[in-house]
Amino acid sequence: MKSNLLEATTPMIDKAKSVLMNNYSQFPLVLAKGEGCYVEDTAGKKYLDFVAGIAVNSLGQCEKTLVAAVEKQLHTMWHCSNLYYNEPAINLAALLTANSDFDKAFFCNSGTEAMEAAIKLARKYSKTYRNEDCFEIISMSNSFHGRTLGALSATGQDKYHHGFEPMLPGCKVTPLNDLAALKQAITPQTSAIIIEPIQGEGGINEADVNFLKSVKEICQKNKIVLIYDEVQCGLGRMGHLFAYQASGVAPDIVALAKGLAGGFPMGAILAVDEVAKAFQPGDHGCTFGGNLLAATASLVVVQKLIEPGFLAHIQGVGEEFKNGLMKLKSQYKFIQEIRGAGLIWGVELDQPVKPIIESCMAKGLLVASAGPNVLRFLPPLIIEKTQIQEGMGILNDVLKGFSK
C-alpha cells in the first residue's frame, strides 16, 4: 500500500531546502505549535505526538509550570560564565545526585556532548589511577552514542562511520548481552565499557539484567569504568527516574540529555566520587553547560518526575501501551516482535516502516523509526490511557491497509 502522505511542497519547505544543509531525511511537515501531547502544523492540522521530539518533550508541549519557571528566569538572568557558580545548576546537581547512586554532576548541552564528557572522564581516570596505556573503549553492537567524533567512534553501527574515518583509536564493539565476547575483548588497556540499558536508535533492544550484573562485577574487579548511555531511555522513560534503576545495576558514569529539560537543550553526566575526582580544572568544559535557563527548566522536569505517583503513572500507561501493541501483534502477522518498557517501545515488522509512518502522519499520528523495519514510540510521559487508545486506533486503521 502506498502512503497517504502528500508529496506537495510549501514555500516554507522550499525555503528550508534552499538554506539548510541536507543533514536530515525530513518529512514534508512544518510543525508550528503544540499543547500537551498534541502538535499542530502550519496548515492547522493537529497530530497526536508519539515521538515527543525523540524522547525530549517529556512533559509534552508548553507545560505551564515549565513555561512560567523559564520565563521568570529569563527576566532575571539568562546566562553567566562557568567562571562563576549559579544557583539553578547547583540545585539541579543536588537534586539529581540525591535521587541516584552518583555524587557529582557535569552539565553540557546534548547527548553527544554528554558521551564525549563520559569518555574523556573515563580515560582521564584510567590514565591517572591505572596506567598511561589504558585508553580502550568497548561498546555494544547496534549502539548509538552521538555524532561528535569520540561518541561516533563508540557507536556500534558502521553506517554512521562512513565518510568520517578513521575513528578514534582503541574503540571496540561486541554484541549486546554476549558476555563471552565481551570478556574476550577486554585487555589491560581497557578503560571503559559503554552500554545503553535500552538501545534507542539501534532498534529498542534491552540489555539483559544478568549481563549487566556480570559486566558490573568485571568492571569492579579490573577498575574498568562502567558507563551507561541513558540519553534516550533515562529520566522516567522506563518508568524509573534513571534507567539503571530498573535493573538495580548502577554504573560509574551515566550520560543524560533529551528529556532532561523537557525541550530545552541540556545534557549531563553524573559520576561516583571515585571516578569524578579525575577531572581537574581545565580538563573539560562547556560554555553553555548548566546555564541558568536550561538548569531552571531541568529542575522543573526532575521535580515533576520525583513527585509521588508520577513514575507509577508512567508504569501504568506503559502497560496500557504494551497491551495495545500486543493486541495489534495478535491481529497482524507481519508484526514480528514487541520490545521495550515504560514509554519506550519498538515494533519490529517484516517490511519497511517508512510508508506506515507516513500513513500514520496523514491520519494525525506521529511515530518514528528505529532502523528500517522498527516502529518506535516515545510519547510524552504525561500521556493518558485515553490518548494511548486514540493512537492505537489510528495505528490499527493504518496497519489494516498493509495486511497481506
Give the pLDDT confidence of 90-104 residue by residue, as tens digits.
999 999 999 999 999
Measured distance CA(1)–CA(124) in Å, rounded: 54
**Angle of CA points 33, 19, 364, to nearest 5°:** 30
- Give rounded-to-5 percent helix, strand, coil for the chain: 40, 20, 40
pLDDT number for residue 8? 53
Domain borders along the chain are 11-63+309-400, 77-305
Confidence of residue 6 (pLDDT cuts 50, 70, 90): very low
pLDDT tens-place string over residues 84-134? 999 999 999 999 999 999 999 999 999 999 999 999 999 999 999 999 999
What superfamily does domain 11-63+309-400 belong to in CATH? Answer: Aspartate Aminotransferase, domain 1 (3.90.1150.10)
The mean pLDDT value for 315-337 works out to 97
Reported confidence tier of residue 404, pLDDT bands at 50, 70, 90:
low
CATH code at 77-305? 3.40.640.10
Confidence of residue 403 (pLDDT cuts 50, 70, 90): confident
Under 8 Å CB-to-CB from 83, ≥6 apart: which residues?
A: none
Q: How far is CA 65 from the centre of its chain?
A: 23
177 vs 1, higher pLDDT? 177
Mean pLDDT of all residues in 167-191: 97
Checking if the pLDDT of 7 tops 60, the result is: no
Q: What is the pTM of this model?
A: 0.96
- Give mean pLDDT, residues 136-149: 97
Mean pLDDT of the chain: 96
Give pLDDT, residue 4: 45
pLDDT category at 10 given cuts 50, 70, 90 is confident
Name the nearest CA neighbour of 238 among 305, 316, 315. Answer: 315
pLDDT tens digits, 351-390: 999 999 999 999 999 999 999 999 999 999 999 999 999 9
Residue 49, SS3 per DSSP: strand
Distances (CA, A) of 247 to 69, 91, 219, 244, 291: 33, 27, 17, 6, 32
Rounded mean pLDDT of 243-263? 98
**Helix segments in 75-108, DSSP class H:** 87-98
- Say what the pLDDT of residue 100 is: 98
pLDDT exceeds cutoff 80 at 335: yes
Closest to 255 (Cα-Cα) out of 88, 144, 113: 113
CA separation for the pair 158, 201 (Å, rounded): 13
- The residue with cell 563508540 is 154
Lowest average pLDDT, out of 4-13, 165-174, 247-256, goes to 4-13
First to last CA, the chain: 10
Average pLDDT over residues 292-315: 98
